[in-house]
Homo-oligomer: A and B are copies of this chain.
Amino acid sequence: MPLFKKVLYPTDFSELAEVSKNYVIKLREAGAEEVVLLHVIHPLEFSLPQFDDPFALDVATIYAHLPEIEKEIIKRHEELMNEIESELREKGFKVDKVLVVGDPKEEIVRVAEEKNVNVIVIGYHGKGLLERILEMGSTAKAVIRKAKCPVLVVKKEFREE
C-alpha cells in the first residue's frame, strides 16, 4: 500500500499554498492517487446576522441567504477550486473537492479524519519575526498539533531536486 495514497491539500490560494501544491503533485510519484482539495471560507467574510452559529452551516445554505455581492465571493472561490482541480486531474489524481465555511484549522483536522487521509500537505511560514508576531502559520501549527495523521510541512522554497 502506498504511504501517501490519499492526500489532504488545504489551500487558501496563497503563494505558499501554491508551493505546497507542487509537493502534492510530486507525491504522485510516491504513489498518491487521490487529493482531497479543501478550501475553508471564514464566516467573517460574509454578513450573516441571521445565523447564530455560521460555523455549523454548509456553503449551499449560506449561499442561499447571501446578498448578490457576497455570492460572488463563493463563486470566485469555486472557480479557483475548479482551476486547481483541473490541474490535479491532468496530473492523474482523483480529486475530491471540499468547500466549507468555518475555522480553517478546525475544518482541516475534521476533514482529514472524515476523509481518512494518509497525509496532510500544508505550508508553513517559518522564519520572519513579523510573520511570527502576526501569528501567520498558526493554522499550520494548530493542524500539526491536532491532526492524527502525518503532516508534510512545506516551506516557502520549493526545491525541485
Contact = CB atoms under 8 A, between A and B. Distances in A.
Interface in A146-161: 146-155, 157, 159-161
A127 B144 contact: no
A93 interface: no
Given A126-B146, A148-B155, 12 more contacts: A1-B160, A2-B29, A3-B23, A3-B26, A29-B31, A30-B31, A126-B144, A127-B145, A147-B155, A149-B155, A150-B153, A152-B152
Interface string A1-39: 111110000000000000000010011011100000000
Nearest to A116: B161
A31 B3 CA distance: 12
Contacts of A30: 2-4, 27, 29-31
Contacts of A127: 145-146
Interface in A18-66: 23, 26-27, 29-31
Nearest to A28: B3
Interface string A119-161: 1000010110000000000000100111111111111010111
